[in-house]
Chains A and B, each alone.
Chain A
Amino acid sequence: MAENEKVHLTLVTPHAEVAVGPADQVIIPAHAGEMGILPGHDRVLALLNMGALKVINGNSTQTYFVAYGFAEVDHDNVRVLAGVCEPVDAIDIERAKEAQLRAEERLKNAALDPEIDVVRARAAIDRAMMRQILGVGAA
């Protein structure tokens, strides 16, 4: 790999363009595990797991929490479409904790209230916990 070769990352959510630019390496939390993308990668279409997406440039690494989406890799281009995406250093841990408590409360009441969507409550708990783990790691 030549020195100046980079992958070009586009990271978008339905609400914003989160990150666009070159990177030495992008690590994607793919369905079966982390997937490191270097320039010249094979074409891949991968579902995202909830987790950390890392953008490595030289010595610096920017980490994002991502969930619900997929990544398309085509040679040097990495396009990530995520339903949720947040830079980990911007995660508000208190809010994530509150979200977890709220979701747990919902889950507890699920037996009584048929309106409560158990799957969604579980997903919310997972999401809140993962955000806390990543957020604490970043702090």
Chain B
Amino acid sequence: MANLAAIKKRIKTTKNTQQITKAMKMVAAAKLRGAEERLRAARPYATMLDEVITDLYNHTELSGYELIEGREEVKRREFLVITSDRGLCGGFNSSIVRHVEREILARAHDEFDEQLSFVGRKGHDILKRRDVDIVEKRVWINLLKEFDLDLAIQVGNSLIKAFQDGEFDELYVISNHFVSAISQEIVTRRLIPVEVPKLEPGQVREDLVDYVYEPGREEILKSLLPLQVHYQLYRAFLESFAAEMGARMSAMDAASKNAGEMIDRLTLQYNRSRQAAITVELMEIINGAEALKG
């Protein structure tokens, strides 16, 4: 017969766990709401910046600007992988690591020299354990706990500097994008050189005259292009953060449900055992009474 006290104890621990997972779910939900709001608020700026840069790129001679034109010979490519610092968020980190293994590690050193950088502890730790044959350049840990545009500017500037110093010729960001609270999408985007949508020939407005630049074109491009790098990075941080919160929320929701089921099962088992114990005791009493009669 199952030990009643032991079952009771298990029910209690499961309830405690459920309380924690429920709390985590609520926290993630609240943070997700905030992150979604920030994403939405950031959209008009992003659209406008994209438009201005697309305009500039398609209507103006931009040769001589590595940050948008790129380098003639691309040898070294860096991939910045954005993951979370903390676990308990379902497949959020493992799916991105799997993606990196499949898309990058599997064909590393074929055509280019690849190297990796990380924002977030988890991706870095998982790949480190697998002992991969690839250069690791930069790791930022606990960056996304609380971040703002300023932080993206700092990271962006250090990456631009690394580009100018020749540490890599192209930089891609691999991150989770927020689709909905229950789904994320892994997106790879080129950050450096700045990615510009090419217009179809029909879309190029031939009548467009060049801007009057104030101060000069040089100064404007020098600040505009880094701005796009900073901003894309900020967006990637926002997207990844929102996706992480979504993933954690659904993981914790599932965990709470599982805990609930377990509690139900254990309670049933507990009641059955208790009933069995009562039945046995009753039988003993009846048997004893019968024996005395006889």
Residues of A within 8 A of B (CB): 10, 12-17, 30-32, 35, 42-47, 70, 72, 79, 81, 83
Interface size class of B (residues with CB under 8 A): 20 to 34
17 further A-B pairs in the complex, CB-CB below 8 A; given A14-B149, A70-B220: A12-B44, A12-B45, A13-B45, A15-B149, A31-B215, A31-B219, A32-B214, A35-B214, A43-B209, A43-B212, A44-B212, A44-B214, A45-B214, A46-B220, A47-B214, A70-B52, A79-B48
Q: Judge whether A14 and B234 touch: CB under 8 Å.
A: yes
- Known contacts A12-B44, A70-B224; decide if A79 and B52 are in contact (CB<8 Å): yes
Nearest opposing residue in chain B for A120, CB measure: B150
B86 at the interface (CB under 8 A from A): no
Q: Judge whether B223 and A47 touch: CB under 8 Å.
A: yes
Which residues of chain B have C-beta atoms less than 8 A from A15's C-beta? 38, 41-42, 149
- Smallest distance from the beta carbon of A2 to chain B beta carbons, Å? 23
Query: Which secondary structure characterizes the binding site on chain B?
Result: helix
- Smallest distance from the beta carbon of B22 to chain A beta carbons, Å? 32
Which residues of chain B have C-beta atoms less than 8 A from A83's C-beta? 149
Our pick among A17, A43, A79 for the contact of B211 (Cβ within 8 Å) is A43
Which residues of chain A have C-beta atoms less than 8 A from B42's C-beta? 14-15
- Smallest distance from the beta carbon of B97 to chain A beta carbons, Å? 30
Point out which of A30, A35, A47 has the most chain B C-beta atoms below 10 A from its C-beta. A47
Which chain B residues (128-142) contact chain A, with CB distance < 8 Å? none
Which residues of chain A have C-beta atoms less than 8 A from B211's C-beta? 43-45, 72
Mask: chain B, 190-219; 1 = CB below 8 Å from A; 0 = not: 000000000000000000111111110001
